[in-house]
Amino acid sequence: MARLKLPEPFTRSLRKGRRVVIYVALALLTVATVSLVVSSGHWLRARRIDLTADKLYTLSPGTLKIVDGLQRPLRLTLYFSEHATRDLPKLRSYEQRVRDILQEIAARSHGRVQLSVIDPVPYSDDEASAEGAGLAPANGGSNGERVFFGLAGGAFPAGVEGEAAENVAPERSLAIPFFDPARESFLEYDIAKLLYELNQGSKPRIGVISSLPVEGNPVLGQQPWVALQQLDQLFDVKALDPGNLKQVGADIRVLLLIHPKNLPDDALYAIDQYVLRGGHLVVFVDPDAELDDTPGDPATGALPDHSSDLPRLFAAWGVRYDPHEVVLDRSHALSVELGGNSVSHPAMLWLDAQQLNHDDVVTASLQRLDLSSAGHFDLAPNAVARLVPLLQSSADAEAVPVQRVQQAGDNPSLLLQDYKPDNVNYVFAARLRGGFASAFPERARQPGHLARSAPGDEVILVADTDLLSDRLWVEPQTVLGQTMMRPFANNGDFLGNLVDNLSGSSALLSIRGRSTSQRPFTRVDALRSVADQKFLQKEQELERELAETRQRLEELQPGKGGTNAGNVGAEQRQEIEQFRQRQLAINKELRDVQHQLNAEIDALGARLKVINIVLVPALVALLGLLYGWRRARRNRRRR
C-alpha cells in the first residue's frame, strides 16, 4: 500500500508547530511544578512523615494532648546565635533538632502557637530582648562571642492572635534559658512543660503537712526553710492542719507530706482518697530526723524517737519501709568537723551523679545531693506497683539499727567498726507506679469512697527529711552587706523538680525521656570490641616483656645496678646490645598490634568509600547509559 507523501513546506510547518506545543507544555509543566512545591509547603506542613529509627520527630501522645488543649494563643521565640556558632557544628545540629520539634508543635496547634526564630547579634535590640526574656547566654562562641540558644514564650488573652498580639503585652511569660544538649532526651518534656505552664492562668497550689518547723516560727524569729522559700516563689504553698483534715481539696495540685507522725485516721483517710483520685503525693519519711525535737524518756533512759512512718498506707501500697533502720555508705560518707578534726560520717552521705537516675527528668540534671541518716524502700512480696529508683546508695552500703547511729553521737568512726557491706543498692527515693488499693476498706460505705486508683497513678517516696533542711545544702554568705544563702548541693532543686514535675497534667507526666539524635556507629563499635578482645592479650604480654627488658637494661648499664664502666666485658656489652635490639623489636610489634586494632575499621571505611565514591556513581551511570541505549534503539525501530 503506497504512503501519502506530504509536501515539504507543510512538513516543516508541522514540525515547527510540534516544537511550539512541546515548549508551551514544558513551560506550563514548570509553572505547575513550582506552584505545587510552593503550595505544598503550606498544606503539607502538618502532614510529615517521620522516618527516623526512634521516631524522634513524632510528638508523644502527652504532648499532643497539651497542644490540642491550649486555650490561649501562645507566641514562642527561639533565640539562636547563628554567627557566634559557626564553629560549633554539634550545637548547630542540635538547634535544627529543636527547631524541627517546635515547627511540628506549631503546625499541630492550628494557629494557636506562633513561632519565630531570631538571631540575637551582639549589641542589638534582639540581644537585649533575649536577656530581658530570661535567656542565659553561654560563653565560648566564635571570637569569644556569647551564644544565645533558648526559648521565650508568652501567653495572650483569648482572641488576641497574629499581628494583634504584637501590640499587646503577654499575660504570662516564661522561658527555657538555654537548650543544653546534655538534656536532649528530655527536650520534648521541657518544651511541653513550657506550653502547659503558659496555658495556666495562676500558680498551682501546693499543700504541705509537716510535723517539722518547715515554715519557721515568726515568734522566735525563725525563717522558713530555704527549700520551702524557693517553692513559694513558683507555687501557691498552703499549710494544711492534719488535726482538722477531712478531705484534701481538688485545688491541691501536689501534696507534700514531710515527717508524718501520729496522723489522725481522718487525715490518713483523706490522703488515701486523694491518692486514689489521682492526686500527686510526695512522702518524706525518716528513721532519724535531726530537726525533730521529740524528747526521750529520762526515767527509762530511752533514746528519743525521731522516726516517721505511714505503716497503714505503705502496707496497702505494697511498700516495705523500716523506720528503725538507717543506711550507712562509707564510699559516700560526708566529711564533718568534730572537735576541730575532719572525720568521715557514714550515716551522712553525699550522692553524685552515679547514684541519681539519669533517665528521670527530676534527677537527670542534678549533680549532688546530701542526705543524713536516711532509710530505704523496697517492695513487699504481694506488691502490684513498680518501684522506680530516683536516689540509691552504692553497693558498699550497710543497713544498721537507728539506735547504733544515735549511740555513735560525736564519734561516727564507731559506725565503721565491724562494717560489713550488704552488696545492695538501697533505694533512698523512688517513684511508686501502679494501681493502689484503699487502706480503709471498712469505710467503703461512706459517700464518694474509692476502693482503687487508676492503673497509671504514682506516688513519690523519699526516705529522708534532713535533705530539706538548710544545713545540708546551703550556707549563709554576706554580699554587699546582704546575707544570702549559697547552695553547695542540689537538694532544693530536687524538691523543686519533684513539685514542678507533679504539678503538671497527667499528659505532661506521661512524657518520658526520648532517644537522642546522635546515632552511634554500632558496626564500628562492634569491630573495635572484637579487635580489643583479639589483640589486648598480645599487647599486654608485649608490655610486660618490654618492662622486663627495660629493667634488665637498667641493671646492665655501666654505673647502675652495681656495674662499673671498667668491669663491662665483651660478653656483657653483647648482652646489652641484644636487649636493646629486643626492645626495638618489641616496640615495633606493639606498633603492629596497635595498627591491627584499627585495620578492620580502616578496611570498613575503605569499603564504604569505594561504595559511595565509585560503585554507586558507576551504577547510576550504567543505568543511565542502559536507559539511553534502549531509548535510542526504540527510536530507531520507529523510523
In whole angstroms, what is the distance from residue 224 CA to residue 226 CA?
6
Give pairs for 594-600: CB < 8 Å, separation 24+.
Answer: 594/539, 596/531, 596/535, 597/528, 597/531, 597/532, 597/535, 598/531, 599/531, 600/527, 600/530, 600/531
pLDDT tens-digit series, residues 152-163: 999 988 766 655
Indicate if 589 and 503 belong to the same structural domain: no
Q: Are residues 406 and 473 in the same domain?
A: yes
Residue 16 covered by a domain? no
Please, which pLDDT band fits residue 15 given cuts at 50, 70 and 90? low
Q: Are residues 447 and 491 in the same domain?
A: yes
Residue 236 corresponds to which cell in the numbers above? 501557691
Q: Same domain for 434 and 370?
A: yes
Rg (C-alpha) for the chain, rounded Å, is 36
For range 81-99, the mean pLDDT: 90
Asked if residue 280 is part of any domain, the answer here is: yes
Q: Given 120, 153, 183, which residue is the final one in a domain?
A: 183
Nearest to 214 by CA among 469, 464, 462, 467: 469
CA 184, CA 79: separation in Å to the nearest integer? 17
pLDDT, residue 37, reads 61
C-alpha closest to that of 95 among 117, 115, 123: 117
Q: What is the pLDDT of residues 277-296, one digit of tens each?
A: 999 999 999 999 999 988 87
Three-class DSSP category at 152: strand
Q: What is the pLDDT of residues 182-223, one digit of tens each?
A: 888 788 888 988 998 888 877 889 999 999 999 987 777 788
Q: Which residues constitute the domain of residue 379?
A: 205-292+305-509
* Bridge partners (DSSP) listed for residue 154: 75, 173
Both 174 and 283 in one domain: the answer is: no
Q: Is residue 599 part of a domain?
A: yes
Contacts 24+ apart (CB under 8 A), 50-54: 53/519, 54/514, 54/515
Domains in the chain, number: 3
Q: Is residue 620 part of a domain?
A: yes
Between 197 and 570, the more confident residue is 197
Domain co-membership, 375 together with 466 = yes
**What is d(CA 551, CA 473) in angstroms, rounded to the nearest whole number?**
52
More confident residue, 633 or 359: 359
CATH number for position 328:
3.40.50.880
Between CA 588 and CA 490 the distance in angstroms is 52
Pairing of strands 205-210, 149-155: unpaired
Residues 66 and 173 in one domain: yes
pLDDT of amino acid 456 = 82
Q: Do residue 325 and residue 211 come from a single domain?
A: yes
Domain membership of residue 535 (yes or no) is yes
> Is-above-0.85 flag for pTM?
no
Question: For residue 113, what is the domain's CATH number?
Answer: 3.40.30
**Is 325 contained in some domain?**
yes
Q: Which range (128-142, 382-396, 478-492) has the least confidence? A: 478-492
Q: Examine the domain organization and report whether 555 and 599 are in the same domain.
A: yes
Range with lowest mean pLDDT among 165-179, 381-395, 553-567, 580-594:
553-567
Q: How many CB atoms lie within 10 A of CB 628?
A: 10
Domain match, 537 and 469 both: no
Answer yes or no: are the C-beta atoms of 126 and 79 closer than 8 Å.
Answer: yes
Tens of pLDDT along 229-269?
989 888 899 999 999 999 999 999 999 999 999 999 999 99
Contact call for residues 128 and 146 (beta carbons, < 8 A): no
SS (H, E, C) 275-313: HHCCCEEEEECCCCCCCCCCCCECCCCECCCCCCCCHHH
- Return the higher-pLDDT residue of 617 and 96: 96
The whole-number pLDDT of residue 46 equals 45
Q: 501 with 541, same domain?
A: no
329 within a domain of the structure (yes/no): yes
194 within domain boundaries? no
Q: Are residues 224 and 170 in the same domain?
A: no
Spatial contact of 372 and 465, defined as CB atoms under 8 Å apart: no
